[in-house]
Amino acid sequence: MRRKFFGKTGYAVTGNFCGLFDLDGFDARTILEDLGFLRAHACFEVMEAKGTKVFHEDSHLDRLVSSMRFLRLPLSPKIGRLPSIDFKNFFKKALNDVLLVNGFSSSLVRVIVTGGHTYDGFHPSGPANLYILVSPFSAPRLKTGKELKLKIIPHLREFSQIKTTNYCLAETILPYFTFLGYDDVLYSYNNRILETSTANFFVVNSSHGKKIITTPKENILPGVTREIVLEIICKRTDYILEEGNIFEDSLVLADEAFVTSTTRFVWPISKIRSDYFRKLMPVGPVALELRKKFLEYRKKYYSNNLDKK
3-class DSSP assignment, residue 42: strand
Domain spans in the chain, listed from the N-terminal domain onward: 9-136, 148-299
Distance CA 191, CA 53 (A): 41
Burial environment of residue 165 by CB neighbours within 10 A (0 to 12, 13 to 18, 19 or more): middle
State the pTM of this model.
0.89
Angle made by CA atoms 67, 72, 76, in degrees to the nearest 5: 105
What pLDDT is attached to residue 246?
97
What are the backbone dihedrals phi and psi of residue 133, each rounded to the nearest 5 degrees, phi first? -120, 140
What pLDDT is attached to residue 4?
38
SS (H, E, C) 88-133: HHHHHHHHHHHHHHHCCCEEEEEEEEECCEECCCCCECCCCEEEEE
Burial 197-215 (b: 16+ CB within 10 A, else e): bbbbbbbbbeeeeebbbbb
CA 288 to chain centroid: 21
Secondary-structure class of domain 9-136 per CATH: alpha beta
pLDDT tens, 128-176? 888 888 889 998 999 888 999 999 999 999 999 999 999 999 999 999 9
pLDDT tens, 216-275? 999 999 999 999 999 999 988 789 999 999 999 999 999 999 999 999 999 999 999 999
- Superfamily in which the 148-299 domain is placed by CATH: D-amino Acid Aminotransferase, subunit A, domain 2 (3.20.10.10)
> Quick one: DSSP state of residue 53?
E
Comparison of pLDDT for 267 and 309, the residue scoring more = 267
Distance CA 270, CA 251 (A): 12
pLDDT tens, 76-131? 655 555 555 577 888 898 898 888 888 889 999 999 999 888 888 888 887 788 88
What pLDDT is attached to residue 1?
34
pLDDT tens, 59-81? 999 999 999 989 988 776 555 55
**Roughly what angle, to the nearest 10 degrees, separates helices 57-71 and 224-234?**
130
